[in-house]
Amino acid sequence: MKGAVLICCFLSLLHLQATAEEEEEKDFISVLRDRSHIDETLRLATEEKAGDYAAAIERLRKIYHTSIKPMEQAYKYNELRQHEISAYPGRTLGNSATDGEITSKPMVLFLGPWSVGKSSMINYLLGMHDSPYQLYTGAEPTTSEFTVIMHGEKIRSVEGIVMAADSSRSFSPLEKFGQNFLEKLVGIEMPHKLLERVTFVDTPGIIENRKQQERGYPFNDVCQWFIDRADLIFVVFDPTKLDVGLELEMLFRQLKGRESQIRIILNKADNLATQDLMRVYGALFWSLAPLINVTEPPRVYVSSFWPYDYAPDTSRELFKREEISLLEDLNQVIENRMENKIAFIRQHGIRVRIHGLLVDRYVQTFKEKMSFFSDPELVFKEIVDDPDKFYIFKSILAKTNVSKFDLPNRDAYRDFFGVNPVTNFKPLTAQCSYMGGCLLDKIERAITNELPALLSSINSGKQPGLSSCEATGCGEKPKNRYRKN
């Protein structure tokens, strides 16, 4: 009898415990935030016109391979790339734009100090909370890898070595940072509507008391590589971590020239009362003002980006509007991705053209100054050490429509010709063929006609097609405007 009573009591306790757990789970679920506005703002339910996008990408690839890449290869533009970051602030392509870079989705890069909510924000946007593949989060520094979250047919992780070896992706240039870095690079593929249109990159948090050498790879150089290719850069801050140290200063120096892509996020804003939040907002601008030397500062979003509901007695409506504004900003990048890609390829073509014109001018000047008794090394050393004496750069400005603000650093060519002897290059007058035309004419036609026409066809909603010359054949004998009469 006593045994039966004990069993009944035990069962009752189990029932009460299960009921309490169910109630606790219901309370837990009730505090999760509604995510329906994310799908609505990003228009994830809207089907894209995949055929038109694919046709435009294919047309862009053809223009690049037929009109821009030949001059890249002829004048070894990739050898100048190591100097391009300082010479050309702004988004850049790789050494030589690959098909992976042309067809890649817009990249959204998350930067900032440790434990400010970068990973939690990605989990929230993708709805990965409590899923097996959610990014690990915590109060301590948790992300030690560069994590690329991209679209795939199934959920799986991809090692950095595999990502770098796959030429169909845009990450193959990362091999130059060494095997230690590739071990700190990881990819996550998953089927998600948002990832069909954009790729997220989570980065290790900045820790001011850790030297760069202790990471085992060139952290700043890797950050620069991702910064150069990002379409949108979220720099995330925590209200309790507003101090600016050496690593953060270095990061903002690397962001110079990219102000239009930067968005500052003051995360975890519901942890503060309204009055304290206003003070923190002012302190954030005070700390960042010396680092962002532009007339118009980057847009700042103030909210709490994670799946749980806002704390009580906080500015809920403000935070919700700020979140929707950020999503609209992200959606704008997605909607304009084709236009941006065309503009960047055109910008890349302009730089390649300038490089070709400059190398041609160095070659022409070298040939003019050489005589039978001249020492080639001494002659060219004089030219490359003082190009202004021989009007190398000024002649380009005088004879072409190149802007002086687009000219690269003169010192870059001293190193460039140190690796590539000037005698290895032909002048532009010799870079013509009857069937293929002239390299300069082709790249100028791409910059002035073909790429703007492709951009117009995208904006007008027309099917991108062949240029008039490709459709009719034109049949003109190539003219060389630089040949001496």
DSSP 3-state percent helix, strand, coil across the chain (nearest 5): 55, 10, 35
Distance CA 369, CA 33 (A): 73
| pLDDT tens figures, 400-409 | 777 888 888 8
Alpha helices by DSSP H, listed for 370-475, are: 376-385, 392-399, 410-419, 439-445, 451-460, 468-472
CATH superfamily for 106-314 is P-loop containing nucleotide triphosphate hydrolases (3.40.50.300)
For the record, the structure tokens of 294 come out as 């532009």
- Please give the pLDDT value at position 12: 59
| pLDDT tens figures, 74-130 | 999 988 854 343 334 444 544 455 677 788 899 999 999 888 889 999 999 998 877
Distance CA 53, CA 369 (A): 51
Nearest to 191, CA basis, from 226, 221, 223, 152: 152
What is the torsion angle, in degrees rounded to the nearest 10, for the CA atoms of residue 139, residue 157, residue 54 and residue 56?
50
Q: Count of H helices and E strands in the chain?
A: 20, 10
Nearest to 482, CA basis, from 408, 431, 417, 423: 431
Q: What is the mean pLDDT of the chain?
A: 82
For the record, the structure tokens of 76 come out as 């070894």
Mean pLDDT to the nearest integer, 58-66: 93
Question: Running DSSP on this structure, what letter comes out for residue 447?
Answer: I
| pLDDT tens figures, 195-238 | 999 999 999 988 766 555 467 888 889 999 999 889 999 999 98
Higher pLDDT, 68 or 1: 68
| pLDDT tens figures, 20-59 | 445 444 444 447 888 889 999 998 888 766 667 888 899 9
What size, in residues, is the chain? 485
- Architecture label for domain 53-102+336-458: Orthogonal Bundle (1.10)
Question: Running DSSP on this structure, what letter comes out for residue 463?
Answer: P
The ranges of the chain annotated as CATH 3.40.50.300 are: 106-314
Mean pLDDT to the nearest integer, 426-446: 92
Give whole-number Cα distances, 118 to 122, 229, 236, 358, in Å.
Answer: 7, 19, 7, 43
- Please give the pLDDT value at position 152: 92
Q: Are 331 and 43 in contact (CB under 8 A)?
A: yes
Higher pLDDT, 170 or 294: 170
Distance CA 192, CA 153 (A): 9
- Please give the pLDDT value at position 484: 45
Residues of the chain with pLDDT > 70, as a percent, come to: 80
Distance CA 222, CA 218 (A): 6
> Is a pLDDT exceeding 90 seen at residue 326?
yes
Q: Confidence class of residue 360 from pLDDT cuts 50, 70 and 90?
A: very high
Mean pLDDT to the nearest integer, 456-477: 55
Q: Are 68 and 345 in contact (CB under 8 A)?
A: yes
Distance CA 269, CA 227 (A): 26
Distance CA 41, CA 392 (A): 52
Give the pairing of strands 299-302 and 262-266: parallel
Per-residue buried b or exposed e for 366-403, using 16+ beta carbons within 10 Å of the residue's own CB: beeeeeeeeeeeebbeebbeebeebebbebbeeeeebe
Sheet containing 156-159: which strands, arranged edge to edge?
Answer: 156-159, 185-190, 146-151, 199-202, 107-111, 232-237, 262-266, 299-302
Give pTM, 2 decimals.
0.78
- Please give the pLDDT value at position 81: 56
The ranges of the chain annotated as CATH 1.10.268.20 are: 53-102+336-458
